[in-house]
Amino acid sequence: MTILTTTNHSRDIAGLKYLYPVLSRRAGGLSIGINFNTNNACNWRCVYCQVPDLKIGTAPDLDFQLLEEELRFFLDDVLNGDFYQRFHVDDDKRVIKDIAISGNGEPTSLKDFDRAIALIGKVATEAGVLPQSHFVLITNGSLLHRPAVQNGLKILNEYGGEVWFKLDSATEEGRSLMNNAGQSLQASVDNLLLSAKLCPTKLQTCLLDFDKQGLSSKEKDALLELLKSIKTKGYALKHVMLYTIARQSLQPESGRLERLSMETLNAFAEEIRLLGFEVSVCV
């Protein structure tokens, strides 16, 4: 018996190549995940990543015909079939909250990223899922300099979508520790602000306890200063999403990581709200 839970994010649970269902703790219902990175390749290596056999690289070429077939089949199964019964989804979760492009690596590394966004938007609109449900891109934002990525965000915006832009630390040391990212903080911030110009964008920050250090004042103050600067300059970024780890990391640092308490996250959220941002908190 297969039961869909908030802790089971298996990419193979539905037996499809590109699509997988998730009961999302952040979205509060069924999230239809789309995975471009079927080769488990990413250009970052975040210490909390749950992808098995993660490797450095980019998304492989996409089979657009297969993606369309899978998406049409899956949406029909959810809307008109017995999907919820087969996966034992509670009645109050039987709603498509979003279509989320995330998967096993950085999705914007896909060569024809904008074409893929357009296809997903078209099929989901024809099925009646959009615009009622959210259309979300979850990204580390490192490839916003690419024309295909910028065009993809414009198309996402046309379908009423939004970007969840990962920025886990506002210090160079923190970025190196958390994300093993070669990109500078300033480059990431520049891409964040560009994203906000092209499509509604939320800043997504994973906070965790590394080596029992808790949430350091240095990291908190750096993020608050960055957000203050963004607010002062009037950029179109209004929402911050704070969350902590919920599932076991599959990276070498796994044993050094612990989740933060709701009290810690809520206290930090209040400090951010005082700067004039909307803040959502999830553990």
The DSSP code sequence of 45-60 is --TT---TT-EE--PP
Match domain 19-282 to its CATH number in 1.10.1200.10, 3.20.20.70, 3.60.40.10, 3.40.190.10.
Answer: 3.20.20.70
**What is the residue-wise DSSP string for 74-107?**
HHHHHHHSSHHHHTT--GGG-SEEEEEE--SS-G
Lookup: tokens for 34: 């789309």
Tell me phi and psi for residue 248, to 5 degrees: -65, 125
Return the biggest CA–CA distance within the chain.
53
Task: Give the span between the Cα atoms of 140 and 195, in whole angstroms.
Answer: 11
- Tell me if 225 sits within 8 A of 265, measured CB to CB: no
Residue type (1 letter), 158: E
Which regions of the chain are under pLDDT 70? Answer: 1-13, 24-27
Question: How does DSSP classify residue 146?
Answer: S
Q: Taking Cα atoms as reference points, which of 160, 168, 172, 79 lies closest to residue 120? A: 160
Task: Give the span between the Cα atoms of 71 and 82, in whole angstroms.
Answer: 16
**What is the residue-wise DSSP string for 155-173?**
HHHHTT-EEEEE---SSHH
Residue with tokens 């004042």: 217
**What is the residue-wise DSSP string for 211-273?**
TT--S-HHHHHHHHHHHHHHHHTT-S--EEEEE---S---STTGGGEEEPPHHHHHHHHHHHH
Stated pTM of the model: 0.93
Summary mean pLDDT of the chain: 93
Name beta bridge partners: 77.
Answer: none
pLDDT of 137: 98
- What are the pLDDT digits (tens) for 180-214? 988 999 999 999 999 999 999 999 999 999 999 99
pLDDT of 8: 44
- What are the pLDDT digits (tens) for 24-57? 665 578 999 999 999 999 999 999 999 999 999 9
pLDDT of 5: 54
Task: Give the span between the Cα atoms of 99 and 94, in whole angstroms.
Answer: 14
pLDDT of 172: 95
